[in-house]
Structure 1
Amino acid sequence: MDFGSFLTAPEINVKVITYRDIFQDKAMLENRFGDEYKDLSAIIKLDHADFKQLDVKKGDTVILKNSFGRVVVKAMESGYETPHKGIAYMPKSPWSNMLVSDETGGTGVPKFKDISVTVTSAKGEKVTELML
């Protein structure tokens, strides 16, 4: 066994903000279970500094987890010039919904804009598949 096998993968905490995407919506209308929809939906967009801290590359899979669920998605750089360390973006989708609290505070509407998750490298794991 080598020394590296005892080290844990870097882990960061981020707040996830969900958003709607017209290209993702178009892909969903064409085939909700197709590869194009998955490629546009099963992603998290991270700040450049968060990318470096996690030691992942664009398109690598990462594990997102909190007390409500666990999901594997692809990591992408957000591309925003203004730094937003600790804030990540995900399209509204079944993948982001796996992390949403069932608590609604009496409103009946889940909190899609303020999801706290821990992010770690998935080291080659595949994106979480949707159950039919």
Structure 2
Amino acid sequence: MSTVLMMFILPIGFAFLYYEFRDKKRYQGVFDTFIEEVDANDGYTNAQKLEHIGRMLQLNGYETHLSNTKIVGHKKLFSIGALFVGLGFLYIGAILYVLYFFYVKKPHTISYEVKSQAL
């Protein structure tokens, strides 16, 4: 039974990986569009812009670091496709991916720096 599951889980994992890589630009685009809209709004002060972007990052599960002029959000994105590919390769790949996720993988980073306003 497990051999049959492993035969199907490997191609499913590759399909998930394909869709994850394809949608990565769209995922980043959502944040880029939001940041551009907030940055273009002249009704916000710089502190309000940072607060607004920080709130959006926190609601999406990002760990945020805030300074006076910059906000940076970090989040590790778990790849179910890579996990399934690892399961398809005799379970050892899944263990290696989980170890990679917790100890090696770099987090997805989104940063925004306030532009100084000319007086």
Query: Normalised by the size of structure 2, how large is the TM-score?
Result: 0.24
Q: Which has the higher helix share?
A: 2
Q: Which protein shows a greater Rg?
A: 2
